Structure 1
Amino acid sequence: MSELPNINSIAIHQFASLGAGPKLIVLGAVHGNEVCGTQAIRRLIREIESGAVCIHRGSLTLVPVTNPLAYQFKRRHGDRNLNRNMRLTHTPQDYEDHVANMLCPLLQAHDVLLDLHSFHAPGRPFALIGSRNNVGDLETVGKADAEEAIALRLGVDRFVEGWLETYAKGVEERQQRGVDACVDYGVGTTETMRRSGGIAVTLECGQHDEGAAPEVAYQAILNTLAHLGMVHQVAPAAAMQPETIRLYQVVDRLHPEDRFSKDWCSFDIIKRGEPIACRHDGSTVLADRDGWIVFPNPAALVNQEWFYLAEASDRLSSDSED
Structure 2
Amino acid sequence: MADLQAASTVPASLRVHQFHGLQPGPRLIVLGAVHGNETCGTQAIEALLPELDSGRLTIQRGCLTLVPVANPLAFARGTRQGDRNLNRRLRPEPEPREFEDRVANVLCPLLAAHEVLLDLHSFHTPGEPFAMLGPEDNTGSLEPFTYAACESAWAAHLGPRRFVEGWLDTYAAGVAERRARAALDGALPAVVQDAQYGVGTTEYMRSVGGYGITLECGLHGDPHGAAVGLHAIRQTLAWLGMADLPLVPPVGDPDVMRLVQVTDRLHPDDRLAAPWRGFDPVRAGQPIGWRHDGQAVCAPEDGWVVFPNPEAEVGQEWFYFARRSPRRLG
1:120 is aligned, of 106, 113, 124, to 124
Aligned position for 1:217: 229
> Could you tell me whether the CA contact under 8 Å between 2:265 and 2:317 is conserved in 1?
yes
How far apart are the structure 2 equivalents of 1:35 and 1:223?
20
> 8 Å contact 1:229–1:235 — kept in the other structure?
no
Q: Tell me if 1:199 matches 2:208.
A: no
Task: Give the residue type in structure 2 aligned to 1:296.
Answer: P
Counterpart residue number, 2:105? 101
The CA deviation string for residues 74-106 of structure 1, in whole angstroms up to 9 with x for no partner, is 111111111111011111011100000000000
2:3 corresponding residue in structure 1? none
Show the counterpart of 1:242.
254
**CA 95–281 in structure 1, closer or farther in 2 if over 3 Å, else same:** same
Tell me the amino acid that sits aligned with residue 86 of structure 2.
L
Is 1:231–2:243 an aligned residue pair?
A: yes
2:6 paired residue number: none
* Identity, % of aligned positions: 54
Structure 1 residue 317, shift from structure 2 partner: 5.5
Counterpart of 2:295 in structure 1 is: 283
Aligned-pair distance for 1:234? 2.5
Q: TM-score, normalised by structure 1?
A: 0.94
Deviation at 1:286, TM superposition (A): 1.5
Q: 2:65 aligns to what?
A: 61
Match status 1:78 vs 2:82? yes
Change (3 A) 1:303 1:78: closer
Aligned twin of 1:188: 200
Helix, strand or coil: the match of 2:163? Answer: strand
Select which of 164, 168, 175 maps to 1:164. 168
Distance 2:56 2:202 in 1: 30
Conserved 8 A contact 1:30-1:82: yes
Amino acid at match of 1:206: G
Aligned to 1:314: 326
Runs (5+) with no aligned partner, structure 1? none
Deviation at 1:150? 1.2
Give the 3-state SS of the residue equivalent to 1:202 in structure 2: strand
- Check conservation: 2:125, 2:309, Cα contact below 8 A: no
Aligned mates of 1:285, 1:14 — CA distance in 2: 47
| Deviation, structure 1 residue 184 | 0.9
2:158 pairs, out of 154, 158, 176, with 154
Q: After TM superposition, list the pairs within 5 Å mapping 1:136-155 onto structure 2.
A: 136-155=140-159
Q: Is the partner of 1:301 in helix, strand or coil?
A: coil
Q: Give the Cα–Cα distance (whole angstroms) in 2 for the partners of residues 311 and 18 of structure 1.
A: 45
- 1: distance between equivalents of 2:197 and 2:10? 27
2:115 corresponds in structure 1 to: 111
Distance 1:100 1:150 in 2: 26
Would you say the 8 A contact 1:193–1:199 is kept in 2? yes
- Contact map agreement 2:156 2:329 (CA 8 A) in 1: no
Could you tell me how far apart the structure 1 residues matched to 2:50 and 2:10 are? 20
Deviation at 1:256, TM superposition (A): 2.5
